[in-house]
Amino acid sequence: MGLKVDQLRICYRTLRGDVTAVDDVTFDIADGEIMGLAGESGCGKSTLGNSLIRMDVRMRQLGGRVELDGAELPISDARAMRDYRFKVVSIIPQYAMSALNPTRRVGKMVSELLRSRGFDYKSALPEFERRVKLVGLDADILKRYPIELSGGMKQRVVMIVSTLLNPSLLIADEITSALDVSTQRAVGEMLLEFRDRNFVKTTMVITHDLSILAQVADTILIMYAGKLAEKARTDVVIGSPLHPYTQLLISSLPEVGVRHDEHTLVGIPGRPPPLLNPPSGCRFRDRCPFAFDRCAADPPFVEVQPGHSVACWLHADGVSPAGGAEQC
């Protein structure tokens, strides 16, 4: 079952025109799987995550469909989505931690949230407290104000609150980005723990930090300029990536033990193309060291090995550049 996203296209309406931030995206996440979504900032990760739960007024679904546990998720219907939000699909938005109202006690916040969704705070309390202890916090956290909590504590509170009703899908957007390494680790382990305890069925972890995904994700999906670039098991993406973008991203990460004087890493020159009127053909073309004439056409996202899909002409043998490639 799990989550199935099929040819999803999402755009933003702006004064200057439509910005297609999620363009023809197809993937699925199995039950019990943690999928990581990575890419440079501005490539549409948050847009994809948000579109699965709460489209804002400027967002439009241009096409495609989303299926969760075998039933269609009515993502463009804000009213219908209200029944899913928080109960079935839950999101920890980017900067959620800093969006907590600093002058409202944690307990009050949780009770209001639950009430607004038609749930009883009293009966949910024991479970909440159990989970608070599970992530290594004191139960008296309910009586404290967010302003008194450290970043890591706030992030864990946000995680518990958003998974309290055991949602089917959890979208975690940049939840480790503003944290120290030690708290990053705690939050990462929490994701694994919540999965293992079945608090959430499928998880989508959005981050620009591949090394976090290497720790927690089962599969990794790489996005570039609104399109999919590569998807495979974590060890495959980290160990033997096929898409030039993935390769360059990974080779630009300094790891403990790598030193500048022994092994100088290089970044990826240039910037992602604008999503308002993006260039035709492969969007990575002007930054890609392997670009060749075929790249003037849009590369299809094809499965090159079981569970490993890539959108690059270097790995699209047998697919004609004219398109018509079968979707995986």
Partner 1 sequence: MTVLGTDEATADRGAPVAGAGAGAPKRRRFEFLYFALRNKKLIIGLSVVLLFVLFAIFGPLFVQHPLTAYGPPRHTPSGTYYFGTDYFGLDVFTQFVYGLRESLFVGLIGGCGATVIGMTLGFISGYKGGLIDEGLNVLCNVELTIPGLVLLILIAGFLHHTSPLIEGLLIACTTWTWSMRAIRAQTFSLVSRDFVGLARLSGEKSRSIIVREIAPNMSSYLFLVFILLFGGSILVAASFDFLGLGPAGGMSLGIMMMNAADWSALPLHTWWWFVPPGAAITCVVGGLYLANVGLDEVFNPKLREL
Partner 2 sequence: MLTLDNVTKVYKTGTFGGESLPAVRGASFEIRPGEVTSLIGESGSGKSTLGKMILRLTPVTSGTISFEGTDVAGLKGKRLREYYRHVQGVFQDPFSSYNPVFRADRVFATIKRSYFPSVSNSEWHGRVEASLESVGLNPVDVLDKFTHQLSGGQLQRILIARALLLEIKILVADEIISMIDASTRVDVLNLLANLKSRGLGVLFITHDLSLGNYISERTIILRRGVVVEMGATQKVFDNPQHDYTKMLLTAVPQLHKKWGAGLAPELEAMGVTSEGEGRPGRYSRSSMHPLAAMHAWKGHRAQVVAAALETAASADRTDTYLRTHEEVPPLVEVEEDHFVVTSAGAE
Q: Which residues bind Mg ion (CB under 5 A)?
A: 46
Number of neighbours of residue 140 by Cβ within 10 angstroms: 11
Among 17, 31, 58, 80, binds ligand ADP (CB under 6 A): 58
Among 192, 291, 297, 314, binds partner 2 (CB under 8 A): 192
Which contiguous run of DSSP H or E holds residue 307? none
| Residues 312, 162: Cα–Cα separation, whole Å | 37
Please identify, using beta-carbon distances, which residue of 46 and 168 lies nearer to partner 1: 46
Cα–Cα distances (Å) from 48 to 23, 40, 52, in that order, read: 10, 14, 7
The residue type of 129 is E
Number of neighbours of residue 181 by Cβ within 10 angstroms: 8
Among 62, 113, 178, 314, binds ligand SF4 (CB under 6 A): 314
Minimum distance between the CB of residue 262 and Mg ion, rounded to whole angstroms? 29
Residue 255 binding partner 2, by CB under 8 A: yes
Among 157, 164, 228, 268, binds partner 2 (CB under 8 A): 268
**Residues touching partner 2, count (CB under 8 A):** 58
| Residues 39, 37: Cα–Cα separation, whole Å | 7
Q: Which does 99 bind (CB under 5 to 8 A by kind): Mg ion, partner 2, partner 1, none?
A: partner 1
Residue 94 binding partner 1, by CB under 8 A: yes
Q: Which does 260 bind (CB under 5 to 8 A by kind): partner 2, ligand ADP, Mg ion, none?
A: partner 2
Three-state SS for 253? coil
x/- mask, partner 2, residues 122-161, rule CB under 8 A, reads -------------xx-------------xxxx--x-----
Residue 219 binding partner 2, by CB under 8 A: yes
| Residues 145, 141: Cα–Cα separation, whole Å | 8
Give yes or no for a contact between 65 and 16, defined as CB atoms under 8 angstroms apart: no
**Residues touching partner 1, count (CB under 8 A):** 21
Among 158, 210, 275, 295, binds ligand ADP (CB under 6 A): 275
Minimum distance between the CB of residue 50 and ligand ADP, rounded to whole angstroms? 7
Three-state SS for 323? coil
| Residues 157, 149: Cα–Cα separation, whole Å | 10
The DSSP symbol for 277 reads S
Please identify, using beta-carbon distances, which residue of 153 and 316 lies nearer to partner 2: 153
C-alpha angle 220-172-75 in degrees, rounded to nearest 5? 95
Q: Which does 290 bind (CB under 5 to 8 A by kind): partner 1, ligand SF4, Mg ion, none?
A: ligand SF4
Residue 301 binding ligand SF4, by CB under 6 A: no
DSSP string, 76-89: T-HHHHTTTBTTTE
The DSSP symbol for 317 reads T
| Residues 76, 129: Cα–Cα separation, whole Å | 35
Residue 101 binding partner 1, by CB under 8 A: no
**Residues that bind ligand SF4 in the complex, under the rule CB under 6 A:** 244, 282, 284-285, 288, 290-291, 295, 299, 312-314
**Residues that bind ligand ADP in the complex, under the rule CB under 6 A:** 12, 14, 19, 21, 39, 41-47, 58, 275
